Amino acid sequence: MAIAAVFAGGLYPVAWVNGSPIFYATWKKIEKSEKQFLNVRQKISESNRISAASSLEVFNDNNPSLFALSFLIDDKITEKEGMEVVKNLGELSQKRMNDTLAAQGDMSSAVKAVYGLSLNDFKRLILKPQARRDVLSVFLASQNLDYAEWLNQKKEQASVKIFFGPFSWNGKELNP
């Protein structure tokens, strides 16, 4: 009975990154959000009289499922390895996120419309990871390092195990 609840709730790992799980439910929530964002982007493009064909190419070239899992892997690595660079990464990221939210006012309806997420899920799944990247980027830049290069190096050193069928880890990135 408990196993059924775990599977029904998506509370099983689809990947392990440096000893931390990525759960199915989280992955699917990010994937759904990416699809929602791409649909909104397509509608905006159509209303701006950009050809529907070019908008559809953006969606077809993008694999929301692959993007979502890659995003979560990158964030796990950034969170764990970033604390080696910035000891108080969590606190600074939280402050950055709070400052962003305070400057924007109530974003609940916009977040729901654009990403299909509650504000709490948006904070946890989108804003907090972005705040981590922003804070870490500033600290790395002060050491004349580029975040993307740093992340690629950390990805090559990471222990990543994928437990979901169509994807595999090649030692530096997720492959379909």
Higher pLDDT, 8 or 116: 116
Joined tokens for residue 89: 């990464």
Higher pLDDT, 164 or 172: 172
CA distance linking residue 48 with residue 26, whole number of Å: 33
CA nearest to 119, candidates 104, 135, 138, 137: 104
Q: Supply the pLDDT for residue 35.
A: 86
Joined tokens for residue 104: 């924007």
Domain boundaries, the chain: 26-159
Q: Supply the pLDDT for residue 50.
A: 45
Q: Supply the pLDDT for residue 61.
A: 45
Residues in the chain: 176
The answer to whether the CB of 115 falls within 8 A of the CB of 37 is yes
pLDDT digits (tens, 9 = 90+) for 131-150: 999 999 999 999 999 999 99
Return the top range by mean pLDDT from 4-18, 39-53, 121-135: 121-135
The answer to whether the CB of 108 falls within 8 A of the CB of 119 is yes
This prediction's pTM: 0.82
The average confidence (pLDDT) of the chain is 84
